[in-house]
């Protein structure tokens, strides 16, 4: 497999490996925390001839280097199936009960991820065979949900501003909304965004339910905006203050990479 010349996996412990699993895709990036010139991203669509787990196994075995001892290994799960639990009410023995209450027909192992202020836990599911395989074949991986990555990024982006604001990130034919009142997270959800009118309706519904002001509150947009121009145009007719999120990753990226890399990956690179 082709890697840039400045990545030498004989010294894999220098690099971070980040794997991203979406419903129809597998991607990974390798970067060096101490050298902003080192970055490589690769994305692969999962074919229909093999099952989801067999596609992942084939990629891991074909590429051959994922089991090496990296400095840090993270796996980000992209999925609309997650729920938030306040830390004060979190009980590890009840996570499956709570998750199944909201999502009756989902399978897999239930994992947890924390929001940046540790006030909330994100409960999400992962196919049990996928989780077991990656846990065995990666070097001490940690599993995260894409919404937690976005929440961490957007909370730092909004700073200490008072009032309400909503972030809408377009990715993988979904839109994930993250809403704040002051510094407090008040809502996060993920909807399909394959149709501009449906995506606009979902975002407008969030604004209505949370009593946002269409004239004074702000909507920040990020992610795959190029493929969502029709949605963005509709939103600008409904909401006066629509702004694009400006990100400053700590690695050197091309303008094309800044525009097309998933925002949850850029979130890691901004830390």
pLDDT category at 106 given cuts 50, 70, 90 is confident
In a domain, 231, yes or no: yes
In a domain, 209, yes or no: yes
Q: Is the pLDDT of residue 144 over 60?
A: yes
In a domain, 121, yes or no: no
Whole-number pLDDT of residue 32? 95
To which residue do tokens 């919404």 refer? Answer: 147
Rounded mean pLDDT of 73-98?
92
Give the residue with greater pLDDT, 46 vs 9: 9
Q: Is the pLDDT of residue 105 over 60?
A: yes
- With CA atoms as reference, report the closest residue to 152 among 176, 127, 126, 171: 176
In a domain, 54, yes or no: no
For residue 211, give its domain range: 159-266
78 near 20, Cβ under 8 Å? yes
Least confident residue range of 88-92, 115-119, 218-222: 115-119
Alpha carbon distance 13, 7 (integer Å): 11
Neighbours of 18 (CB within 10 A): 23
120 near 86, Cβ under 8 Å? yes
* 29 beta partners: 18, 41
Whole-number pLDDT of residue 132? 97
- Which CATH number fits the domain that encloses residue 199? 3.30.420.260
Render pLDDT for 210-229 as a digit per residue (tens, 0 to 9): 999 999 999 999 999 999 99
Give the residue with greater pLDDT, 270 vs 146: 146
Rounded mean pLDDT of 71-100?
93
In a domain, 243, yes or no: yes
Q: Is the pLDDT of residue 1 over 60?
A: no
Rounded mean pLDDT of 89-94?
89
Whole-number pLDDT of residue 117? 63
Q: Is the pLDDT of residue 127 over 80?
A: yes
Whole-number pLDDT of residue 115? 66
Spatial neighbors of 192 by CB under 8 A, at least 6 apart, are: 80, 173, 174, 175, 198, 199
Whole-number pLDDT of residue 160? 64
Render pLDDT for 152-196 as a digit per residue (tens, 0 to 9): 899 888 766 778 999 999 999 999 999 999 888 999 999 999 999
In a domain, 79, yes or no: no
Q: Is the whole model's pTM more than 0.85, yes or no?
A: yes
pLDDT category at 87 given cuts 50, 70, 90 is confident
Whole-number pLDDT of residue 232? 96
213 near 178, Cβ under 8 Å? no
Helices (runs of H) and strands (runs of E) counted in the chain: 8, 13
In a domain, 38, yes or no: no
To which residue do tokens 């999120």 refer? Answer: 245
CA–CA distances in Å: residue 230 to residues 40, 194, 220, 246: 31, 11, 16, 21
Number of domains observed in the structure of the chain: 1
In a domain, 28, yes or no: no
Q: Return the percentage of the chain with pLDDT > 70, whole number.
A: 97
Rounded mean pLDDT of 200-219?
96
């Amino acid at each position: 497999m082709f890697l840039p010349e400045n990545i030498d996996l004989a010294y894999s412990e220098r690099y971070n490996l980040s794997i991203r699993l979406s419903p129809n895709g597998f991607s990974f990036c390798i970067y060096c925390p101490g050298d902003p010139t080192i970055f490589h991203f690769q994305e692969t669509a999962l074919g229909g001839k093999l099952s989801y787990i067999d596609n992942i196994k084939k990629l891991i075995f074909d590429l051959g280097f994922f089991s090496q001892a990296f400095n840090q290994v993270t796996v980000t799960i992209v999925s609309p199936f997650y729920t938030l639990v306040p830390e004060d009410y979190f009980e590890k023995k009840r996570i499956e009960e709570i998750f199944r209450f909201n999502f009756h027909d989902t399978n897999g192992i239930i994992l947890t991820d924390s929001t940046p202020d540790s006030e909330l836990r994100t409960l999400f599911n992962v196919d049990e065979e996928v989780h077991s395989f990656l846990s065995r074949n990666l070097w001490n991986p940690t599993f995260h949900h894409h919404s937690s990555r976005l929440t961490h990024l957007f909370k730092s982006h909004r700073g200490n501003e008072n009032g309400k604001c909503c972030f809408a990130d377009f990715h993988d034919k979904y839109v994930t909304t993250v809403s704040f009142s002051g510094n407090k997270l008040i809502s996060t959800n993920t909807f399909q965004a394959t149709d501009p009118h449906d995506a606009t309706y979902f975002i407008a519904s969030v604004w209505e339910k949370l009593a946002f002001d269409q004239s004074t509150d702000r909507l920040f947009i990020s992610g795959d905006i190029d493929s969502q121009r029709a949605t963005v145009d509709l939103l600008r007719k409904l909401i006066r203050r629509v702004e694009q999120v400006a990100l400053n990753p700590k690695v050197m990226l091309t303008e094309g990479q800044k525009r097309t890399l998933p925002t949850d990956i850029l979130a890691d690179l901004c830390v």
